[in-house]
Amino acid sequence: MIELKLIAEEDLINIIKWNENTTSDFLLQWSGNLYSYPLTINQLKYYLRKAEESQNVFIYKIVSEENKMIGTIELKISDEGRTIGRICRVLIGDETYRGKGIGKEAIFKILKIGFENLRLNKITLGVFDFNKSAIKCYEKAGFKKYKLIKNKFKASSEMWNCYEMCINRNEFT
């Protein structure tokens, strides 16, 4: 069982550690083009401050039963009417927790926050077409693919395609 807790500045060092000895493609895969490689604490602090100021971006740390930060997940309100949200920057950073259903549990918890607490009507996300395990996780949570955007991001050696997926409040159980 995991918990989602709002991230604090002192938690950001974990994200830096998870990105040490990785590639620019790894950073692109979980953060899109928000950050530049190599990831720095200043980039994270700046984004956290902007998120806190906006009141439309909620950055959560994923916390294990042992009260250890093992990942991050973000929910943004993406329209002026405050009815559509977007899940982004999902990262199970602690590799020992990958492949254990943590992502699925985090997705269900963030959907609950979005639909029940924020009263959103629809939640979307983007996922690279080669990330089969993430796509499977999102589909298990009720997301459906509705668009494939070809050549969305330039990775180190190729262009990456991205599926757009969504779930409506009445589809969430």
pTM exceeds cut of 0.85: yes
For residues 73-90, average pLDDT:
96
For residues 79-103, average pLDDT:
96
173, pLDDT greater than 90: no
Summarize pLDDT for 5-63 with one digit per residue, the tens: 999 999 999 999 999 999 999 999 999 999 999 999 999 999 999 999 999 999 999 99
Q: Which residues have C-beta within 8 Å of that of residue 109, sequence separation ≥ 6?
A: 2, 3, 4
Examine residue 73 and state whether it is found in any structural domain, yes or no: yes
- Taking CA 105 as the corner, what is the angle to CA 102 and CA 110, rounded to the nearest 5 degrees? 120
Domain housing 42: 3-124
| pLDDT for position 54 | 94
Examine residue 134 and state whether it is found in any structural domain, yes or no: no
Examine residue 45 and state whether it is found in any structural domain, yes or no: yes
Examine residue 160 and state whether it is found in any structural domain, yes or no: no
Examine residue 82 and state whether it is found in any structural domain, yes or no: yes
| pLDDT for position 85 | 98
Strand pairing class (84-92; 122-128) = parallel
The CATH number of the domain holding residue 61 is 3.40.630.30
Summarize pLDDT for 117-164 with one digit per residue, the tens: 999 999 999 999 999 999 999 999 999 999 999 999 999 999 999 999
Examine residue 31 and state whether it is found in any structural domain, yes or no: yes
Structural domains counted in the chain: 1
